[in-house]
Structures are given as C-alpha cells and as structure tokens.
Amino acid sequence: MKYHGANHHEIELGNGKLHVFANDEVFGTFEAKVYEMANNNLLIPRNQYMSYTPDAHVGIGTCIGTTAVWSMKDGCVSPSIVGSDIGCGMRVHTTRLHKRDIQNKATRRALIAAIEKYVPTGERTNSNYEDIDVMEVVRHGLKGLPGKYVPDERWLTHVEQAEFAYDRTYLNDLPPKIVKYARGQLGTLGSGNHFIEIQYLEIEAEYADLAAKWGLFDGQVVVMIHSGSRAWGGMVGREHNKTIKEAMRLWGVSNPDPNLIYAPIASHEGQTYLNLMYSALNFAVSNRHMIAHGVREAFRDVFGPETELPVLYDLMHNYALKEFHRGQPMLVHRKGATRALPPGHFLNAPAYKETGHPALIPGSMGTSSYIMIGKDEGLKNFYSICHGAGRARSRKATKELVTVDQFERSLKVGTDDEILVNHRSLQTILDECPQAYKDVDQIIDSVVGASLAAVVAKCKPMAAIKGV
C-alpha cells in the first residue's frame, strides 16, 4: 500500500489499483468485502481509475461510495457502478427564517403536516401533479415542466444540470408500463433513506464570505431534500440489467460477482443504457424539483403567501457522466459519490462558475449534514467526495441491535431541541436511525483532511419527513 499524504491510500489489488480517501479511524473499519468488490470491479477492461470515498460500504455489484472512470473512446459503462436509483441526489432550498422562528414545536409540527399534504410520502402513492406530461419531463428534464411550476429562473439555473440531452429514440425500447408507473410518482418522496429535512445553519468562520455570496447566514432555516428517479429509474435499471447480463453471456464475458454487469460504451447495449440513464436523470432532477414545489406551498401555508424558498443547489450522486479530464473525454461513474467542483472550474453551472458550487452532503437522521466547497486538489479523485455518512450496518442488523429508546435519545425526544419526525412510532423507521450509519463527522474529517473539499456550513436538523 502507498500513502499519498493525508487520508489518501493507494492499494494494489490483484486486478489493479484502488484509491481510498479516509482518515485512520474510518480506514480501519473497512471490511474485506469492500476490497473484494473493488477487485471484481477492476476486472472490467481498460479501467482508468477507481476509488472509494470514506462512506464506502457494500452494495449490489459495486460498493456505494465508488468513483470509477473509463475513456469514452474505448471504455465501458456499468449499471452496477451507477446504482439502482439512477439520479438519486440532494437539493437544498434557503429561507429568510431564523432558527428561533421555528423553535416552537407547534410551528414545526404544523410544517410537517403541511409538507405531508403537498408531498406524498408513501412507497405507492399518487402524484399531486397529473397535469404534468411525464414524457416531456424524461425528454427535457426541468425544461419539460409547465411554467407555473417554475417560481423563478433560479429553479432552472442553480442546479447541476436542468436538462440531460440524449438520443430520445431509445425511449422506444422501454415497455409501455413504465409511463403508467412513473406518471403517479413525480413529486413523491419514496421510502428508505429518502427524506425532507428542515435544518438550521452554522456557518464556518473561514468561509463566511463565500456563505454570504451564496445567500447563507448563521441560524438560517434551510430545507434539504433527498430523493431520486423513483419507478422510472428503477425500471430502466431492471430492464437493462437483464439485457446487458444476457449480452455478457453471449459475449462469453464473466465476473466472479454475477451482480456486476457492464458493456462497452460503443456497443448497442452500452448506448441504450447510457441514453436511457439520462432520461432517468431528467426524471430525478424534476422529481426533487416538484417535491421542493410542494415544500414551498407548505411553507406558504404556515408563514404566508409571500414566502419564497430560493434554490441553493441540486446535484446527483448516482450517475455516469461524460466529463473532460486529462485532455480527453471520460465516462465518470459515481455511485454514492458527489461531484465537488472548485471555484473557476469550467464544469460548474454558470451561476457558480466564479465561486464553485455548493456540495450537499447529508448526515443521518439526528446528526449534522454539510454544505461544502470543492478544492483544486480534488482533481486527484476526479472531484468526487462522499455522498453522506454511509451505512455502518444493514437494516436487519440495525433493528436487531438498536432499541427505540436509543433512537429517541438520538432525536432528543422530550427536550426543547427535539428533532421532530412525521412518524408516530419510531419503530417504523428504526432502520434509518443514526446508529445505522457511520459517524458523519469522521467522514467529513476524512474528506477535508484529504484536501478534496472544505466545510462552508453545518446543517443542524430540526424536523424530518420520512417516507413509509
């Protein structure tokens, strides 16, 4: 193993090199399985680079927390290194409110109730936006939404990408039922680790000027949203996992892990998946947009019709994007990894070209989340940082090892600073308790120590809305 300075390890595996960005405490927790999975991933031909961020943990086919890169000229695309929830990502909206404005529990409960009125939170729920043409959304992303759902231009400009362009003739390859399922899910939260969280900010003194440029202030109430492409992305993944797996069989290609699938970018299977993946990215960014629209309506119900929730940023952490690195076009896969571009980088959204964009990193329910800024040194990891805390144990193990009493203490139940949730029984969401996740502060310390990004603000939770 080589050590490239603070928190950067290079490990020589049987099939290639793996870079790991983690401090000593986090690095020591990685189990053998994550290295086994990396070694399997490195069997994919002509890999240019592969790394783990400190939140890395075992997933299906590939660890969550992976960045893997191939040349667009002769490389491969892997649905396994994109993930099943294509386009899953984060979104933050700001308010003019201060923490003290919602300190009263009755106010926060009113906000939770209002948000649930506008944002369906069940796994199988119907969208409130049946007047939106889902096909326009998957074709054009945010630009396919009716104008009445775009409060101002920021909702289109302060995002990683408003529209992902692709060859839309590939939509003809999808089964008709996908439209039926997806139509009822636009603007819905979903279950699992997806959430809407009401938070307040603690600005880092060193980055107070940058925070001010972004419109952030100490004690400010913000809303963080985590969701993805719902049924559309799920069906795209399932359909083309089967297609590519069958193609691999016909090509005589195998891997020790049957859940790891891939195809040459230039192949029919590779092009079909890539193009339809971009349709799912369009759905994902639009889904978070419409969730945010519902949250805005809820805040207006509680605080008055003049209330606005400007967009800070929207980004994704499950995708494969064509990016230019080392003087050539490359396909950068990020599965549970966040792009964090530094100030001045040409890939920044125009609104953030000068300052660099906010990198949005959720914690776990009951712990801090973070707003970060990428650093120039992030080039060594293709500008990828963590996407959250990362699971420390499975859902089943969490339910076996953690009690509701422990969960309640994490949420400060019964105190003035209680983090309110929308579930009457914490037992129903026990598998999402903070004890299920790694220590997010150690994850952030790993990223900062590796000079990949810096903290601009901590986001402290006050209320959480989870799916069922």
Closest listed residue to residue 56, CA positions, set 446, 330, 340, 408: 446
User: Binding site membership for GMP: which residues?
Assistant: 193-197, 317-318, 362-365, 369, 387-390, 466
387 is catalytic: yes
Look at strands 220-227 and 195-203 and give their pairing.
Answer: antiparallel
What is the rounded distance in angstroms from the CA atom of residue 305 to the CA atom of residue 113? Answer: 17
Q: Which of 293, 345, 387, 423 is catalytic?
A: 387
Q: Of 398, 402, 403, 413, which Cα lies nearest the Cα of 366?
A: 413
Rounded distance between C-alpha atoms, residue 154 and residue 166, angstroms = 24
Copy the structure tokens of residue 14: 């049987």
Q: What is the pLDDT along the chain (468 residues), one digit of tens a residue?
A: 787 888 999 999 999 999 999 999 999 999 999 999 999 999 999 999 999 999 999 999 999 999 999 999 999 999 999 999 999 999 999 999 999 999 999 999 999 999 999 998 876 567 788 899 999 999 999 999 999 999 999 999 999 999 999 999 999 988 888 888 888 889 999 877 899 999 999 999 999 999 999 999 999 999 999 999 998 998 898 888 899 999 999 999 989 999 999 999 999 999 999 999 999 999 999 999 999 999 999 999 999 999 999 999 999 999 999 999 988 999 999 999 999 999 999 999 999 999 999 999 999 888 999 999 999 999 999 999 999 998 888 888 888 888 888 888 888 988 989 999 998 778 888 888 888 888 999 999 999 999 999 999 999 999 999 886
Tokens of 460: 């402290």
As a whole number of Å, the end-to-end CA separation of the chain is 44
* Residue for token pair 């992305």: 233
pLDDT given at position 95: 98
The distance of Cα 29 from the centroid of its chain, to the nearest Å, equals: 23
Q: Does the global pTM surpass 0.85?
A: yes
Give me the CATH code for the 2-392+437-466 domain, please. Answer: 3.90.1860.10
**Residue spans per domain, the chain:** 2-392+437-466
Q: Which residues contact 218 (CB under 8 A, 6 or more apart)?
A: 201, 202, 203
Residue 364 burial (CB count, 10 A): 25
Instruction: Give the sign of the dihedral formed by CA 210, CA 293, CA 118, CA 234.
Output: negative
The residue among 372, 265, 268, 378 whose CA lies nearest residue 320 is: 265
Instruction: List residues forming the annotated binding site for Mn(2+).
Output: 85, 194, 226, 317
Annotated binding-site members: 85, 193-197, 226, 317-318, 362-365, 369, 387-390, 466
